[in-house]
A and B are shown apart, each in its own frame.
Chain A
């Protein structure tokens, strides 16, 4: 069995990055696993999105007009299964996103296919697919196999695989899928945007946190502005909140918020009290800047620097001008 079917994801008319990253993932094993790579775009107006997924390595793009623009897990599942029966791919890819979580495992259970979620590594060894995912709170990795199953469904971790840069030359085909059995089960009510000022450390993917090293409350606005320029959520350690310099929702750590979804953490002037580390030591990439070379923060950091905080801040401000 060969061939890879990618179920593209979009929200409110915008294609999500994971859709393109899945193409990159498929390309990385295409040669060993076997093509073609097909991308399914499911929407009420799929053609406008179809062109965006026409990237290097994609062989076919299948558009399915389902008559609704919002996400409906039952529709996605039905389309994936019916397209699968038609295209007979060996591998079906979803994003391990909130919407991906709502349908990937259902497709797997319905097909009785192999399945793994939150996959961040793909390999083909001797024609057999291997997927890598985390276990035990990201502390170890597990490599899983699918026992020779002819069909495997995977949900891929976001911000992990690289999207192809070049445009592709895929053929775009519109297909009709009979949705009569799933129509009307679920009713879409509404999408609600999050209030823009919401600080949510637990959901932030990039956090810039400050600690006592900023020395004075007067320096605070400068760092707040830097965080904004970097596109980071502005976090801090406990003493900053204790001093009343920033409100509680900014606090990272045991008594504040755990940076659950954080991928990149920039710790400025934080020595790394155990309570703070609790909230962020699991983050994949941590950059720590502190003048004390023995600060515990460096035990958990990926990169460290013992440079003067304000010199660095100036240089960073120039970088992100």
Chain B
């Protein structure tokens, strides 16, 4: 802190003139402070007590000279500052929020301008009056040592030159003494009330600065109470010290990629808004006023990319991103987020990766390598490679992963993966504000790593994983040292384990990833790599700590871009293109590669340069293809499931194999001997007495099949390990509708009860709906229900309905896996209730009358009125389902969940039995040849055939 204040390091950066000017004012102030303190000490303490004086002789002369120079510096600084504000008028100082479409300055901002001018004007007056005082005195006394006060002497000469007499000087001195004194006193007294307070608050703000800010976000401490920052009362004294320290200098405003791209976020304006609000409320929230919403726009908070540019450049040590994330935590808690982000968080919660892929395919990219990649859970290795989501699942980045793997192989580096044991590291999930989900991911990955065989260090190609594993994981458990692959490559090239065959001689520019460079100081390794492989680096104007974010950080990669904004990535490629001829725009971050490859195309630079990962350049320089042995045996992972024709399911299974699936045991019936399906008789369980309307919602823990599969032995289903499960989205909509209906009815006595027919795994979805607001849940299961048809499932649900006696039953229209679209209708008939299918609007009086609108094909709507109780199947789009944070899900474990035995459900009255399952013919593009006319004819025929046109 002391060195920052004295050196003005943070002030000089990217605005050296302002830094210099501030330095002048600072020195003037500092020397003035020292000078007056010395006089005070002598006059008021030492002289009266001991009769000693030292304010004389050489000491006096030297101090006088220093003070003169200091104050001159201050005057020059102030004059520059005034000139800058009046003539240079940098846009960052106009306080106009053009990114919000403001055309005139808001009243508080107009006040700031007055405040700013007031501040420097008073300062200047104090300085000038001080010099006049000195000049007048020198003119009066004409001492021999006047030259030791050069400025004062010059002022005296000017005053004398203007014809001022000694008497005149005396009068001026007497009057000016009051002016100077009163100005000084007024200035000092006013310090706490306006901009001048930064003189004090900065010392505090810089002292409490967190060296790990943003690199390591704070844990959510208050588990039971409010999450994140709800209102002004949740700000700490440290936050408030930061608010008070802001001098509105605008360095963060300039550096912010969100603001540059036209998003409604300026870190400075955010801090100023918070400060104004806090000053008004004095740390006490008032009823009916929402900090997030009324004071701070949620879009402002969602615009942040967690790149850290603002806090990095802030001269007074404000930690904007940390505050933003803490406010985001509250937004996540409220479910106030973009639907795509919400879906992604759900996906990550369900599958452990943002791509929604089955964990089995996480290391699918290794299969084409031609050599075995160790599994750290099976055998030890020197290095554990934590791959991360993009590098594992994104096709373009898979190539980079393969390239780096081959480079490691060629350099004989011993490495292993966690394979399907890895889940996304959680860096961006934490920055989104989903702290509970982040923690569960950390716990998982740490468990996997601690259960693994030994390894010395972790390596990764992903700067985001790198940051969180390096800085945040240690707070949760022991974790090995981690190295970014740029450092690994630099080491391999330097040590000669990778030898450059031919220097590339390419002109390249390098983009510093925020999470590697600014947050973790990894500026040099990638540059060293580029130099070692013979590239000429042409730096972009914004490089190293001033690197400009690609726009994907902080979870923004999961939030659609706002209309009418320039993508930060496009802004960046324009910067690269302006460098003149370059060959390659080099990245060393999977998200960067994705963002900039896109931006290169949309930004119109396809002819200017290519975007490549640093590993690709290294591969080229060392002639990688000639190095990697291709005769290595056995693939690292089991072969993917064999294609359809060899699948055993082609053989009709024996009767024995499928007897678990009910209808095998069915008796033949005819029209004279038909038996309606009845609700199953379930064992009684504790059903609380109804205190209001009760809505039963059916929940399916629906399966998603990834790109690989294997059939069960009987050939009637998919092996469970190839399936990912999640809350069926139609049921999610049904649950949301039920919750909204109960909320709208308002009495507070109603309840939503969830029912699932499924194995233990289904509790995951039940916990989720309990977290969202269902009061209780019931699950029915028996192994004989595996693969059950919709009528049998409806019979099981009907058994629960008999016990619950609900006033309304909502089901999803269908499940995303088997899409029967039948369970609700069958359920209604088994229970003898009226029903409506594919409902997109519900009005219910809570007692007996339902007006529902059904959505027919082509968007036609059909409104009907039916009595309740009834069964409605709910279509997605009827509402936006709320989000259950991992914290809420954990808390929902306290809610009642009854598990009932469903052994008697399958009784032969069900709808079907699966005979076999098989893969339909693979669709692989059949390439059409011939003239444009031929192809058009083919396409036209196909269109006519398919559309019946």
Task: Write out the residue numbers on chain A whose beta carbons fall within 8 Å of the beta carbon of B823.
Answer: 105
Task: Write out the residue numbers on chain A whose beta carbons fall within 8 Å of the beta carbon of B563.
Answer: 244, 248
Which of B186-194, B517-525, B925-933 touches A? B925-933
A11 touches B860 (CB 8 A): yes
Interface residues of B in 849-878 (CB under 8 A from A): 851, 853-867, 873, 877
Contact with B along A111-128 (1 / 0, CB 8 A): 111111110000000000
A137 touches B704 (CB 8 A): yes
A191 touches B859 (CB 8 A): no
Interface residues of A in 118-174 (CB under 8 A from B): 118, 130-131, 134-137, 139-151, 155, 159
Task: Write out the residue numbers on chain B whose beta carbons fall within 8 Å of the beta carbon of A206.
Answer: 943, 946-947
Does A56 reach chain B (CB closer than 8 Å)? no
Interface residues of B in 908-949 (CB under 8 A from A): 908-909, 911-920, 923-929, 932-933, 935-940, 942-943, 946-949
In the complex, what distance in Å separates the CA atom of A298 from the CA atom of B947? 22
Task: Write out the residue numbers on chain A whose beta carbons fall within 8 Å of the beta carbon of B932.
Answer: 307-308, 311-312, 314-315
Does B395 reach chain A (CB closer than 8 Å)? yes
Task: Write out the residue numbers on chain B whose beta carbons fall within 8 Å of the beta carbon of A195.
Answer: 859
Query: Closest Cβ of chain B: how far from A10's Cβ, in Å?
Result: 12
B677 touches A109 (CB 8 A): yes
A140 touches B709 (CB 8 A): yes
Does B330 reach chain A (CB closer than 8 Å)? no
Does B10 reach chain A (CB closer than 8 Å)? no
B912 touches A116 (CB 8 A): yes
In the complex, what distance in Å separates the CA atom of A303 from the CA atom of B836? 40
Task: Write out the residue numbers on chain A whose beta carbons fall within 8 Å of the beta carbon of B278.
Answer: none
B718 touches A112 (CB 8 A): no
In the complex, what distance in Å separates the CA atom of A107 from the CA atom of B823? 12
Task: Write out the residue numbers on chain A whose beta carbons fall within 8 Å of the beta carbon of B601.
Answer: 212, 239
Task: Write out the residue numbers on chain B whose beta carbons fall within 8 Å of the beta carbon of A319.
Answer: 936-937, 939-940
Q: Known contacts A85-B671, A96-B821: does B836 contact A192 (CB below 8 Å)?
A: no
A108 touches B917 (CB 8 A): no
Does B2 reach chain A (CB closer than 8 Å)? no
In the complex, what distance in Å separates the CA atom of A248 from the CA atom of B560? 10
Task: Write out the residue numbers on chain B whose beta carbons fall within 8 Å of the beta carbon of A214.
Answer: none
Cβ-neighbour of B861 out of A105, A114, A191, A305 (below 8 A): A191
Cβ-neighbour of A136 out of B598, B818, B826, B949 (below 8 A): B818
Does B830 reach chain A (CB closer than 8 Å)? yes
Q: Main secondary structure on chain B at its contact with chain A?
A: mixed
B834 touches A303 (CB 8 A): no
Does B366 reach chain A (CB closer than 8 Å)? no
Contact with A along B812-844 (1 / 0, CB 8 A): 010011111111111011100011111000000
A115 touches B943 (CB 8 A): no
In the complex, what distance in Å separates the CA atom of A4 from the CA atom of B347? 44
In the complex, what distance in Å separates the CA atom of A308 from the CA atom of B703? 41
Task: Write out the residue numbers on chain B whose beta carbons fall within 8 Å of the beta carbon of A308.
Answer: 932
Does A26 reach chain B (CB closer than 8 Å)? no
* Interface core residue of B561, B817, B819 (most chain A CB under 10 Å): B819
B602 touches A243 (CB 8 A): yes
* Interface core residue of A191, A202, A296 (most chain B CB under 10 Å): A191
Which of A34-42, A43-51, A283-291 touches B? A283-291
In the complex, what distance in Å separates the CA atom of A139 from the CA atom of B673? 38
Task: Write out the residue numbers on chain A whose beta carbons fall within 8 Å of the beta carbon of B211.
Answer: none
Which of B316-324, B660-668, B685-693 touches A? B660-668
B826 touches A145 (CB 8 A): no
Task: Write out the residue numbers on chain A whose beta carbons fall within 8 Å of the beta carbon of B946.
Answer: 159, 206, 263-264, 285
B935 touches A192 (CB 8 A): no
Query: Closest Cβ of chain A: how far from B568's Cβ, in Å?
Result: 13
Does A178 reach chain B (CB closer than 8 Å)? no
Chain A residue nearest in CB terms to B606: A212
B664 touches A147 (CB 8 A): yes
Task: Write out the residue numbers on chain B whose beta carbons fall within 8 Å of the beta carbon of A298.
Answer: 925, 927
Does A64 reach chain B (CB closer than 8 Å)? no
A189 touches B863 (CB 8 A): yes
Does A88 reach chain B (CB closer than 8 Å)? yes
In the complex, what distance in Å separates the CA atom of A34 from the CA atom of B705? 38
In the complex, what distance in Å separates the CA atom of A9 from the CA atom of B345? 42
In the complex, what distance in Å separates the CA atom of A143 from the CA atom of B816? 18
Task: Write out the residue numbers on chain B whose beta carbons fall within 8 Å of the beta carbon of A202.
Answer: 877
Does B723 reach chain A (CB closer than 8 Å)? yes
In the complex, what distance in Å separates the CA atom of A110 from the CA atom of B822? 13
Cβ-neighbour of B705 out of A96, A136, A205 (below 8 A): A136
Q: Known contacts A112-B676, A118-B820: does B918 contact A143 (CB below 8 Å)?
A: yes
Task: Write out the residue numbers on chain A whose beta carbons fall within 8 Å of the beta carbon of B674.
Answer: 111-113, 151
B948 touches A102 (CB 8 A): no
Does B147 reach chain A (CB closer than 8 Å)? no
* Interface core residue of A85, A140, A239, A319 (most chain B CB under 10 Å): A140
In the complex, what distance in Å separates the CA atom of A301 from the CA atom of B927? 9
Query: Closest Cβ of chain B: how far from A311's Cβ, in Å?
Result: 4
Task: Write out the residue numbers on chain A whose beta carbons fall within 8 Å of the beta carbon of B705.
Answer: 136-137, 139-140
Does A217 reach chain B (CB closer than 8 Å)? no
In the complex, what distance in Å separates the CA atom of A230 from the CA atom of B941? 11
Query: Closest Cβ of chain B: how far from A71's Cβ, in Å?
Result: 7
B794 touches A98 (CB 8 A): no
Does A183 reach chain B (CB closer than 8 Å)? no
Does B758 reach chain A (CB closer than 8 Å)? no
In the complex, what distance in Å separates the CA atom of A242 from the CA atom of B881? 26
In the complex, what distance in Å separates the CA atom of A135 from the CA atom of B853? 29
B668 touches A148 (CB 8 A): yes
B947 touches A231 (CB 8 A): yes
In the complex, what distance in Å separates the CA atom of A315 from the CA atom of B598? 30
B791 touches A150 (CB 8 A): no
B817 touches A186 (CB 8 A): no
Does A65 reach chain B (CB closer than 8 Å)? no
A144 touches B935 (CB 8 A): no
B666 touches A149 (CB 8 A): yes
Contact with B along A90-107 (1 / 0, CB 8 A): 000000111101111111
Task: Write out the residue numbers on chain A whose beta carbons fall within 8 Å of the beta carbon of B561.
Answer: 242
A102 touches B836 (CB 8 A): yes
Cβ-neighbour of A145 out of B395, B824, B915, B924 (below 8 A): B915
A116 touches B703 (CB 8 A): no
A288 touches B925 (CB 8 A): yes
B942 touches A287 (CB 8 A): yes
Task: Write out the residue numbers on chain A whose beta carbons fall within 8 Å of the beta carbon of B866.
Answer: 185-187
Does B731 reach chain A (CB closer than 8 Å)? no
Does B3 reach chain A (CB closer than 8 Å)? no
A188 touches B864 (CB 8 A): yes
Q: Known contacts A147-B666, A189-B851, A264-B947: does B873 contact A101 (CB below 8 Å)?
A: yes
Does B394 reach chain A (CB closer than 8 Å)? yes
Task: Write out the residue numbers on chain A whose beta carbons fall within 8 Å of the beta carbon of B675.
Answer: 112
Q: Known contacts A102-B825, A134-B819: does B664 contact A191 (CB below 8 Å)?
A: no
Does B87 reach chain A (CB closer than 8 Å)? no
A101 touches B838 (CB 8 A): yes
Q: Known contacts A109-B826, A146-B663, A149-B666: does B860 contact A192 (CB below 8 Å)?
A: yes
In the complex, what distance in Å separates the CA atom of A316 from the CA atom of B940? 7
Pick 18 A–B contacts, CB within 8 A, sort by A: A88-B671, A102-B835, A105-B820, A112-B675, A113-B674, A140-B709, A145-B912, A145-B913, A146-B911, A148-B667, A189-B863, A192-B853, A203-B858, A264-B942, A264-B943, A299-B924, A302-B923, A319-B937
Q: A101-B873, A116-B789, A304-B925 are in contact. List 7 more A-B contacts (CB 8 A).
A: A101-B838, A111-B674, A136-B704, A147-B913, A151-B670, A299-B924, A302-B926
Residues of B within 8 A of A (CB): 340, 355, 394-395, 560-561, 563-564, 567, 598, 601-602, 662-671, 673-677, 703-705, 709, 716, 718, 723, 789-791, 794, 813, 816-826, 828-830, 834-838, 851, 853-867, 873, 877, 908-909, 911-920, 923-929, 932-933, 935-940, 942-943, 946-949
Residues of A within 8 A of B (CB): 1, 11, 17, 70-74, 77, 84-85, 88, 96-99, 101-118, 130-131, 134-137, 139-151, 155, 159, 185-195, 198, 200, 202-203, 205-206, 212, 230-232, 239, 242-244, 248, 254-255, 263-264, 266, 273-274, 285-288, 293, 296, 298-308, 311-312, 314-316, 318-320
